[in-house]
Amino acid sequence: MTSPRAPTETLQVLPPHIKQWQDWCSSFDLITIEPLHPVHHKILVILETVFSHVLLPVSENLYDKLMSRVYKRIILNERTMDSMLHGLLVPADAPEG
């Protein structure tokens, strides 16, 4: 039987470029996004690919572009029904107003 590993033991060794990025980010105080201009398109591609749901409230154009990707596959069952319909249904006994 093996003993459980400490959380630090299960982490992979980071590649040097990731480690450099983390070191740089931890000491970087971003006041304006102007320094990101040369790479902002790459950042958006990553966000659109990996974190589409985060960009939905950013703009109507992004919402229209990403909505079908976010809801491409929906599993609807007893557990997910309430959260899927949240805000769409009003209980019959709710006061009008």
pLDDT value of residue 49: 87
Could you give the CA distance from residue 85 to residue 42 in angstroms, rounded to a whole number?
34
Q: What is the pLDDT of residues 53-74, one digit of tens each?
A: 888 888 999 899 988 888 788 8
**Mean pLDDT estimate for the chain:** 77
15 within a domain of the structure (yes/no): no
Could you give the CA distance from residue 51 to residue 70 in angstroms, rounded to a whole number?
9
Radius of gyration of the chain (CA): 21
24 within a domain of the structure (yes/no): no
**The two structure tokens encoding residue 96:** 């009008």
Residue 96, pLDDT > 60, answer yes
What is the pTM for the complete model shown?
0.43
**20 and 27 in contact (C-beta within 8 Å)?**
no
95 within a domain of the structure (yes/no): no
Question: What value does the mean pLDDT take over residues 16-36?
Answer: 76
Higher pLDDT, 51 or 12: 51
pLDDT value of residue 39: 92
24: left (phi over 0), alpha (psi -120 to 50) or beta: alpha
Please state the domain count of the chain.
1
83 within a domain of the structure (yes/no): yes
Could you give the CA distance from residue 45 to residue 69 in angstroms, rounded to a whole number?
13
28 within a domain of the structure (yes/no): no
Residue 51, pLDDT > 80, answer yes
pLDDT value of residue 32: 80
59 within a domain of the structure (yes/no): yes
Residues spanned by the domain of 59: 33-87
CB burial of 52-62 (b: ≥16 within 10 Å; e: otherwise) equals beebeeeeeeb
Residue 38, pLDDT > 60, answer yes
7 within a domain of the structure (yes/no): no
14 within a domain of the structure (yes/no): no
